[in-house]
Amino acid sequence: MSLSRRAILTCIAAPAATRPIQVIAHRGEHLECPENTLPAIERAIALGADWVELDVRTTRDGQPVLMHNPTVDATTNGHGAVAELDMAYLSQLDAGAHRPEYAGTRVPSFDQALETLRGKCGLYLDAKQIAAPAIIAHLRRHRMLDRCVVYGGLALHRELRALGHSYLSMPEAVSAGALRSALREFRPKVIAFDRRDFRAEVITVAAAARKGIFVDRLGEDDNESAWREAIRLGATGIQTDHPGRLVAMLRP
């Protein structure tokens, strides 16, 4: 991959980022800390991650919070679907209930997460359930419009485009044909790839369009051999559950 294409990523990365391959911490540093919490974000930043991937859902009373699953059951001491619960209830839950050393950790609001990230790290936003106007309003409030990419469905990307913020969109590659269509419809800076679509014919489309290539290397693909192979194939960013190890591998 040419340095000029890698430089595209540097332009949208966090201010301190200097490495050509960007490190994306999946749900923060969630192997040590509870996922999608402020400690997980802070630890990922401390380890040198360039981006933190976070999942956002909206409560019944319209407040965006960090939560991967539709319900709070798996990661807190509470019960129920985020969309059916009020913020007052979620704010009292213990997100460290299953990690004794982090007992008392709260479910963060989107605002709290953005304040923790601002000026330190980029946000890879997995928009599980949040409307485009809310995304834009919160990013603007925390001066993070130029430090965020948004992963979501086509309907959300179209809402962002209608509001004049198509540059935030990070569509899934899917296939060469689907990616060409997405590039015609949106103005993304980065394309998302996973194990299924990280193939030469699809990567070539993103590279020819001079787009950043963020690929998930999770599960059995989350190791040094797979990271190096992803870089060889053209990745400009790697999402991992081991941000510290990836940072160390990339260190000159």
Asked if residue 90 belongs to a domain, the reply is no
pLDDT in tens, 124-150: 999 999 999 999 999 999 999 999 999
Helix (H) / strand (E) element for 191: namely strand 190-193
Of 33, 69, 50, 68, nearest to 214 (Cα)?
50
pLDDT in tens, 24-72: 999 999 999 999 999 999 999 999 999 999 999 999 999 999 999 999 9
Asked if residue 105 belongs to a domain, the reply is no
DSSP designation for 158:
H
The CATH number covering residue 46 comes to 3.20.20.190
User: For 5, what's the count of Cα atoms within 13 Å in the CB-facing half-sphere?
Assistant: 18
- Both tokens of residue 28? 């923060």
d(CA 26, CA 39): 13
Of 232, 178, 222, 224, nearest to 200 (Cα)?
232
Asked if residue 75 belongs to a domain, the reply is no
CA-based end-to-end distance of the chain: 18
Decide if pLDDT at 3 tops 50: no
pLDDT in tens, 197-231: 999 999 999 999 999 999 999 999 999 999 999 99
Structural domain of residue 23, as residue ranges?
A: 3-59+111-250
User: pTM of the full predicted structure?
Assistant: 0.92
Residue type, position 116, single letter: T
Asked if residue 37 belongs to a domain, the reply is yes
Asked if 50 contacts 17 with a C-beta cutoff of 8 angstroms, the reply is yes
pLDDT in tens, 75-114: 999 999 999 999 999 999 999 998 999 999 999 999 999 9
Q: Quick one: pLDDT at residue 252?
A: 84
Asked if residue 76 belongs to a domain, the reply is no
Asked if residue 179 belongs to a domain, the reply is yes
Asked if residue 89 belongs to a domain, the reply is no
Domains identified in the chain, total number: 1
Asked if residue 224 belongs to a domain, the reply is yes
Pairing of the two strands 190-193 and 148-151: unpaired
